[in-house]
A and B are shown apart, each in its own frame.
Chain A
Amino acid sequence: MNHSIMDPMIPHPYKIQRVIKETHDTFTLELKSIEKNGTFSFAPGQFNMLYIAGIGEVPISISGNPTKNGSLIHTTRAVGTVTKEMAKLKRSDVIGIRGPFGTNWPVKEAEGNDVLLVAGGIGLAPLRPVIYHILSKREYFGKIILLYGTRTPQDILFRKELEKLKSRLDIDIYVTVDRATRAWNGNVGVVTRLIPRAPFDPINTIAMICGPEIMMRYTITEISRRGIASENIYVSVERNMKCGIGLCGHCLYGTEFICKDGPVFRYDQIQNIFGKREF
């Protein structure tokens, strides 16, 4: 967004062009700036603050394609006051956007390596721009492996898109759910169970993990067992936010501000506080 450096505290109006119901509690909004020259560019992993007038503002990662200008895309799970209200919005409604903020996934550093993406639940949304980016420059990367775990088959996010991606021969996708009936013929079990046999070369792999913190902790244990060094592991950390630009201290995490030093961190840089209760 060309105005974000000038006035990061002022939300800019965006009109909803399309609402996609992804699962029973998760939806995607396609947004377009109402302002003249309101273009938007971002790096995979960055987030925006989404504001609903009179209700509140929440940080949501950008889940669209960073290589395409045009609409701005956010995928959100309705969990509380603001996100449940957001779930009621319809085409042509207007919401406020501030951003993009925060650090990005290491797509440049990953060039020349295998890339292991491990997503849990809604954690697939912030990783989707990485997939778009990598596929747009496919020849620069080694193997691409996506391991995705979610609760039940009905909770699988971007299902059609995953099925389409799976039919490509240059990306390995493994999906697992925590529980299922016989209608589901895929894997059942937590996402970490997919790691021992995932076909990556541990010494030349960059891992990017996004999901509930506990799932990321278990994932790190398992991929470390496979031999990926902590400086090649990246995680996305979530905390409550207010300003989004390092002013209010709301998102303080140890000595780091999630909003500007994160949300994407190299694991070895936060290893001493990651998963610790007092942080």
Chain B
Amino acid sequence: MNTLQINTTERSPEIFFDFDNNNFIIKGESYPEDVKEFYGPPLTKLEDYLNDLEDADVRFTFEFIYFNSSTAKILMGLFELLDEVAERGNTVSVIWVYEEDDDNMEELGEEFGEDLEHATFIMQAQ
């Protein structure tokens, strides 16, 4: 099985990339000491993989409780990457999961999602 898993810590999210099923999840809190150090290796692997992908069905789920501004920058890049993957003909669903009463996380999701032109964006309260 080709997967990449990083367990959650107090200040960094769980990352679960299931390359065999094109199912990707980032979940938790994100204000690591160094965002580039934390996100760099998994996202480089993801980018390399997605750049070669054709005719695939990709599902990417974001489920954040909190993230800082440095993480927001990483997320913006990731959204742009996912939209490019969709533009090349893949079917990409981006799912933004937020706590029902978390207006701020809902708003942030809308703000990230509104720039997607090719990927399908789904907001999901829970």
Answer yes or no: are A and B bound together in one complex.
no
